Amino acid sequence: MDSVKIYFDGDCFFCKNFVALSKLKSQIRVELVDLRQHESAMLELLEQGIDINASFVVEIDREYLFKNIAMAFLLKQMGYSRVAWLFETKIFGAALYDTLVLLRRLYLFATGKTPFRDYQ
């Protein structure tokens, strides 16, 4: 694995900044794909049944990581193993990630942005 591809919501302030930091601090090559700018990539993920409102997506060697597992992977790549551990735990990691998703939804609502489900 020499590189990863991260699919994210470019309208989300938190998502955009986290993946930018991932690219800067990662120990491997990172390609960022803003799903708002790349409709074909967005539609491809939706056709595969991937809920892009509930998670950003990390693609490694044609396999996908989602939610807290994707977050833990990226945090490890950035050198934040201790924080990654929080996201790796089954119950707490999922709850912590769901809290981040809720914050994203609140941000989109507060700024008048549209979630992806409105595009389907």
Sorted by where each starts, the structural domains of the chain and their CATH numbers stand as 3-119 (3.40.30.10)
Measure the CA–CA gap between 32 and 112, rounded to whole angstroms.
24
| pTM as predicted | 0.88
pLDDT tens digits, one per residue of 43-93:
999 999 899 999 999 999 989 999 999 999 999 999 999 999 999 998 999
pLDDT tens digits, one per residue of 29-54:
899 999 999 999 999 999 998 999 99
Q: Which one-letter amino acid corresponds to residue 15? A: C
β strands within 37-77, DSSP E: 57-60, 63-66
